[in-house]
Homo-oligomer: A and B are copies of this chain.
Amino acid sequence: MSKKLTKREDDYSKWYNELVVKADLAENSAVRGCMVIKPYGYAIWEKMQAELDRMFKETGHENAYFPLFVPKSLFEAEEKNAEGFAKECAVVTHYRLQNDPDNPGKLRVDPEAKLEEELIVRPTSEAIIWNTYKGWIQSYRDLPLLINQWANVVRWEMRTRLFLRTAEFLWQEGHTAHATKKEALVEALQMQKVYAEFAENFMAMPVIKGAKSESERFAGADETFTIEALMQDGKALQAGTSHFLGQNFAKAFDVKYTSKEGKQEYVWATSWGVSTRLMGALIMTHSDDLGLVLPPNLAPIQVVIIPIHRNEEQLDAISVKVNEIVKELRKKGVSVKFDNRTTYKPGWKFAQYELKGVPLRIAMGPRDLEEGTLEVARRDTLEKKNISQNDVVSYVEKTLEEIQNNLFNKALDFRESHITEVNTFEEFKDVLENKAGFVSAHWDGTNETEEKIKDLTKATIRCIPLNNKIEEGKCVFTGEKSTQRVLFAKAY
């Protein structure tokens, strides 16, 4: 397989697809729209999971596991939610195969084994979970109920792309129940904040916190909070959502609690999720024409050490020194790999780890051994530097931190320079066509205008930023009165 990637400026979409496959992150499977997440890609996802899981637990949540299947009658109980997902559901109708009498050696669905009620493969778990919560919640003492689930879900998407939009994906879904509306709203906003902190501190990806317009809300939610990121091609990506569900599911599944005052009240709900889609966001935020660029806080390998040698004696001598360094670095919690394979040449290894986005590459040859030096190369800036072996631990620690910050700041600069205020629809279209990014514009607040703008430009309202400035203005499309700007963009 050629290691050469298509360049971003030549074909951004092709660059992305090639990168995902060549960097060993994921590939398409034999099942339409479903991906295989390869070990290197999965290792990044595991690091994401570990950090998010820690953050969820620190905010008082516990993990649990609910069934993969949702009986049709439960699925349809909350009408808006059902309507929102009905068109993209994998449906189990039978529970047995049998030998195909017409094709020896082949199987067919056993027509006798038809389910009385069809089972939907969960596209999201509100229905099955709220049906369960009914049994768990009786009194105010059972609240709040703060639960998260790590799971796979299936949405039968017609156009799929690795990580960004797949029929099956991995995610976490938090589902909480509260005694009051206020508490549920606070929870939904808290989880949006957790997501934003994760995105910024670990993915080095700046995000804008906002609320969705009505038409972009989760099916069944009263309010959807979102974190929106900007990719290098100027398209926005919704990286995580947190929903205030009001009492919609409590009413659909009759979940009430007895208050301290002895009254029966419906429960208030939230749900929130991020998925393997974050992998796509991570890749597109930092990577370049040479391959993946990973922020150190999520890199499975933070430092790779490659020996440069002509013979086995040299390799042995280098290995002695490298093993000391590996030990020192591991003591400091740095994840380091010494690639001493003799089946591959150094040049091949250099290209390989560049493609895989390893933040720091250290090379050590016989001359370094004599002089007590080594060469360190940064993946983000591609800078190389010779340093003393004695300084390696402190240099690595400092530089990993620098890389993490540098990636964030670079992405932030790009994002900041790609939020453009416009006051006319001509400007609006011009920015979308010639500059891309977020367009900050006044909007009259109607679904109708939003829909028309989308039809004309493919741009949607990504969010109404939280803590937005209130200012008088006129809708960029209708000229009607408006009190604040919202952010439009083309989006993934």
List A residues at the B interface (Cβ < 8 Å).
27, 29-31, 34-39, 42-43, 45-46, 62-72, 74-76, 79, 82, 86-99, 105-107, 109, 118-121, 128, 131-132, 135, 141, 147, 151-152, 154, 156, 168, 170, 343
Give, as a whole number of angstroms, the nearest-CB distance from A154 to chain B: 7
Q: Tell me the complex Cα distance, A87–B120, Å.
A: 20
Q: Tell me the complex Cα distance, A107–B120, Å.
A: 11
Is A109 a contact of B90 with CB atoms below 8 Å? Answer: no
Is B95 a contact of A31 with CB atoms below 8 Å? Answer: no
Is A119 a contact of B96 with CB atoms below 8 Å? Answer: no
Is A31 a contact of B70 with CB atoms below 8 Å? Answer: yes
Which of B64, B86, B93, B94 touches A36 (beta carbons < 8 Å)?
A: B64
The answer to whether residues A105 and B79 also contact, given A30-B71, A120-B97 and a CB cut-off of 8 A, is: yes
Give, as a whole number of angstroms, the nearest-CB distance from A151 to chain B: 8
Contacts of A128 in B (CB 8 A): 29-31
Contacts of A105 in B (CB 8 A): 76, 79
Contacts of A154 in B (CB 8 A): 68
Give, as a whole number of angstroms, the nearest-CB distance from A127 to chain B: 9
Q: Tell me the complex Cα distance, A115–B98, Å.
A: 18
Give, as a whole number of angstroms, the nearest-CB distance from A327 to chain B: 17
Contacts of A132 in B (CB 8 A): 27, 29-30, 36
Give, as a whole number of angstroms, the nearest-CB distance from A84 to chain B: 11
Sample of 12 more A-B contacts, CB < 8 Å, known A34-B68, A34-B69:
A29-B66, A29-B128, A30-B74, A31-B70, A31-B128, A79-B105, A86-B97, A86-B107, A88-B96, A89-B95, A91-B97, A97-B120
